[in-house]
Amino acid sequence: MQLLEENVKPFEFYDEAKKQFLEAKNPKWEKAVLDKFSWIKYIQSNSALDEELKPRDFALMSDEDAMEQKDFNAIKLNGDKLRQYLTKKTLGDFVTTVSKTTIVQDYPENFTWRDLFLKLCFE
């Protein structure tokens, strides 16, 4: 509950009179994500990373991290996905191997910063 109250509030961009959130394309959503979730800001600001990650990429990282935390042995053996990702990007492909793939996309290509903000706030 404390995380919900830190920095940007989950309903800060909600218009009570119109009963709707701010338009999904508004750049305020990306800023809200970066202000509220420091791990995402860290990844985006890391100059060693050569690819631009999309909101759906961060959503998948969050899901994988949450799933691994439920299995202590998986954490002990494999480490968390965020650490693996950063290690791979800074030390090269030879450090990490693909351990699984997904056939059905969990998040569509058009997954927005607003979608990510709300997902992370309420999961």
The string of pLDDT tens digits covering residues 57-116 is: 899 888 876 655 555 444 444 556 666 676 666 666 554 454 555 545 678 889 999 999
Give the per-residue pLDDT at 66. Answer: 64
Least confident among 47-51, 53-57, 98-102, 114-118: 98-102
Question: Mind spelling out the 3-state secondary structure of the chain?
Answer: CHHHHCCCCCCCCEECCCCEECCCCCCHHHHHHHHHCHHHHHHHHCCCCCCCCCHHHHHHHHHHHHHHHCCHHHHHHHCCHHHHHHHHHHHCHHHCCCCCCCCCCCCCCCCCHHHHHHHHHHC
- Mean pLDDT taken over the chain: 76
Global pTM reads 0.65
Give the per-residue pLDDT at 61. Answer: 86
